[in-house]
Amino acid sequence: ETGVTQSPTHLIKTRGQQVTLRCSSQSGHNTVSWYQQALGQGPQFIFQYYREEENGRGNFPPRFSGLQFPNYSSELNVNALELDDSALYLCASSSQQGNYGYTFGSGTRLTVV
């Protein structure tokens, strides 16, 4: 059974650019959630996808968008990058509405300069 994989692991972008982060969910999981974790803080919920539909969204602007594919993998897109977008972006997959827990990927460290 494979876990959650995220790519890339590290990324440096310039303010104003766009970025796409990728996540492959754990086998058997149909729900993917994305989180932003700034240094020294707890993860903040961005949004969740369930069976290719957005299933909840946190307090993030529309320039944060996402997709889920038929194989349940997912993308997080961020447009018009700002310096404050620098963070660790975590993807988590789950099944059965999280009753068995969420499995987190190793994250993508995004630095905006």
Partner 1 sequence: ELKVEQNPLFLSMQEGKNYTIYCNYSTTSDRLYWYRQDPGKSLESLFVLLSNGAVKQEGRLMASLDTKARLSTLHITAAVHDLSATYFCAVISNDMRFGAGTRLTVKP
CB of 6 to partner 1, least distance (A): 9
1 near partner 1 (CB under 8 A): no
CB of 91 to partner 1, least distance (A): 9
**DSSP E strands: which ranges in 17-106?**
19-24, 31-37, 44-50, 53-57, 64-68, 74-78, 87-94, 103-104
Q: Is 22 exposed, middle or buried (0-12, 13-18, 19+ CB in 10 A)?
A: middle
Binding-site member from 68, 78, 105, 112 for partner 1 (CB under 8 A): 105
50 near partner 1 (CB under 8 A): no
CB of 83 to partner 1, least distance (A): 21
Q: What is the C-alpha separation between 100 and 86, in angstroms, rounded?
A: 31
56 near partner 1 (CB under 8 A): yes
Binding footprint of partner 1 on the chain (CB under 8 A): 33, 35, 41-45, 48, 56-58, 90, 92, 98-107
